[in-house]
Chain A
Amino acid sequence: MAGALRKIFATFARSYPKPVAQLLPRLYSNVPTPYEIVDAQEERKTYQDVIDKVNRQVAQAKQGRLFAVVHIQGKQVKVTEGDVFVVEGYWPPGAGDRISLDKVLLVGGRDFTLVGRPLVQRGLVQVEATVIEETLSHTKTHFKKKRRKQYMRINFMRVPQTMLRVNRIEIVGEVNHPSDVTGLETRVF
């Protein structure tokens, strides 16, 4: 009460035309960053060096433990091999199913990270998981009330939860070397 009064008296009800956010340039935008290639040859050499290093490390199987950011059920999860996570809501895969998680946004190891825009090249990374459990959550209460209007509702709900264990994260194939034929990843025969 005293604090509110103090605020009203201290700021003489002035509204300042330019908030801080407008003073600074927007630090996010959908417009791609403008860039200028100074020396194409040198640029290509630099990035090809990095890509070759990554490919060499993967070919020698020296990359170590990998982690991936996977998009699943509208949410993103950071997973490594052997960890368990829960997917909430209606999700068709049943208990015991082995699933490949295809929407990979980012893959990283100790020495490098592959950032997808927004997804990493399909077929480059393979993330496999097993569904180990399907339960219902604890009882959640959705309580609604409008005061002084005699309106009160309570909704008890239990959300289906699916537990997934990540079995394998592997970089298959080479970075910047997509296969000539695409679209065969989901083909059975």
Chain B
Amino acid sequence: MSNSHIFLKSGFIRTPSQNGVGRYVCQLQRVVLKFCKNNGSSRGMREFVESELINFAKNNPGVVVYLKPRRHRAPVISAEFLNGDKQWVSCHNYSKQDISKWLNLLRTQSGNTTGFRLRKLQHTDHPSIQGPWTPYTFKDPAENLAEYPNTELSKPKIQLKTATDELLEIFNSVQISDKKGVE
């Protein structure tokens, strides 16, 4: 019936080698920018290389940046991560801001997550600290000795005031006021 499992892989959160427990390590290993020297589709890429690329390289010393000017080819950013994943982003007719944004995204990623659905948005190694729930966690231990069926335990805990109860209350209040009147 549904076939999304064929093109949409799913799994749980994966963090490469306990990233963040001690120190945060940037997971991007190298980035290759391929562009054409005079084709119009590479204009944004060329502008980016001229203006913002050096800042990017300076701010991320752990990332190796390669430039590959290839004539008559579409502009592309090819990224490789520490876990071996490869990601390929086409920059055809992108502006330099777009390219800068995509490059920043690749820098903060830890692998190729396109087409990867996270089944759960959380991961713990210690799901229970106060002990997993059992049917007896919130039960009164006095019920261990109860005989079933039990009339006392069967009564509803929340009981609304019945007409009889209200009548008795009125009667008692009248009696008290009578007594006060007599006094």
A residues touching B (Cβ–Cβ < 8 Å)?
A: 24-25, 27, 64-67, 77, 79-80, 82-86, 88, 94-96, 108-110, 113, 130-139, 161, 163, 165, 167
Contacts and interface: CB of A to CB of B under 8 A. Distances in A.
B24 A163 contact: no
A133 B126 CA distance: 22
B181 to A, nearest CB: 28
Nearest to A97: B24
Interface of B: 8, 13, 15, 19-21, 24, 26-27, 105, 107-110, 113-118, 121-126, 129-130, 158, 160
Contact of A133 (B27, B114, B124, B125): B27
12 contacts: A65-B126, A82-B124, A83-B122, A88-B121, A95-B24, A95-B26, A133-B19, A133-B110, A135-B105, A136-B105, A137-B113, A139-B114
B123 A85 contact: yes
A109 B129 contact: yes
Given A67-B129, A84-B13, A84-B15, A94 B118 contact: no
Given A25-B158, A83-B122, A165-B20, A136 B113 contact: yes
B52 to A, nearest CB: 17
